[in-house]
Amino acid sequence: MIETVMSVQMPVGLPIKVKKNRLEPDRVREDMPRVSILAGVHGDELQGQYICYEIIRRIKENRESLKGIVDVYPCLNPIAMEVRNRNTPGASIDMNAVFPGSRHGHTVEYMAAEILKDLEGSDFCIDIHSSDIFLQEIPQIRLPENAGKKVLDVAQKAGLALVWINGDASSVKEGSLAYSLKRNGIPNLVIESGIALKINYEYCHRIIDSIFSILRDLNLFQGNVVYKKKTFIARKNEVDYVHCDNSGIFVPKAEIGSFVRKGQIIGSIVRPILGAQIQEILSPCDGMIFSLREYPAVCEGELLARICHMERPGGKYEE
């Protein structure tokens, strides 16, 4: 059942609406658990659109396996999604920085406030994100250091390659949806994957399988799920950041998801006007590359990669 969460009339054109699809069993009880699945808080995050489509489609095909309420919000920021911009056009506001919002503020603040109000009563929330246009990310769960045992247990059983516990990760900063949900007592986790403006279908299907594992773990779904290996948990001191010292073009020499040794070349910075390589980028540790620069033009000091300290199981990471 499709419901309108929020509607606001714009100065020109049709009203902007945030909608959700509520999926329920044939018989609904008041004590049934409710999970909310969220996507599209940034307008350039297209993977979440496909993931929500597949989740809705599979649940509709297996409704007899549904034992609770699943609310799917494919597009929390339709203004930005219409123009495929990360931030809301005009004022260039990052919606994931204005929660809990305000019913008397800017349109984006009003949207945030109404969305948060609609999420009241959720027993668990899954917030799906894609990276920006600069970095590619493997499918991963991001949690704050104070996420709590329940959330960590759910994340650990989800079966994605990595759970990154980082108190200053962008996905859990003050003003984000995840931060406001936690402050309101709603357990939640953030799934990050891929890159902006593109859909990596392999990554999407890993995440879809992971979400159904979560739904089963929370007693909302009793259908068949694809169980994966136990995930690796990386804490803040187990992740190294790799930055460049020079401006130029970044040429990668390692793949995302691959394992590297300390001192191994993972890329280089070249200066086109000189026809020369001006910097070799070396891995600072043994581990797996879980974030890798996709946008080739770089300026001094920009992030090129993140590497988590993991033992090599043999070749490229496989789930």
pLDDT at residue number 317: 42
- Position 314 scores a pLDDT of 55
- Residue 279's identity, in one-letter code, is Q
On whether the CB atoms of residues 299 and 247 are closer than 8 A, the answer is yes
> CA torsion angle for 257, 263, 264, 267 (degrees, to 10)?
80
Q: And the tokens for 175?
A: 């003003």
Residue corresponding to tokens 């009793």: 222
User: Quick check: helix, strand or coil at residue 121?
Assistant: coil
- Give the pLDDT score at 318: 40
If residue 250 lies in a helix (H) or strand (E), which one and from where to where? strand 248-252
Token couple for 267: 């890329």
Question: How many other CB atoms are there within 10 angstroms of residue 156's CB atom?
Answer: 15
Question: pLDDT in tens for each of the 319 residues of the chain?
Answer: 999 999 988 777 788 999 999 999 999 998 899 999 999 999 999 999 999 999 999 999 999 999 999 999 999 999 999 999 999 887 789 999 999 999 998 899 999 999 999 999 999 999 999 999 999 999 999 999 999 999 999 999 999 989 999 855 444 788 999 999 999 999 999 999 999 999 999 999 999 999 999 999 999 999 888 877 678 999 989 999 999 999 999 999 999 999 999 999 999 999 999 999 999 999 999 999 999 999 999 999 999 999 999 887 654 544 3
CA distance 253 to 231: 26
pLDDT at 167: 58
**C-alpha neighbours within 13 Å on the C-beta side of residue 29:** 7
pLDDT of residue 10: 78
Give me the pLDDT at residue 169, please.
47
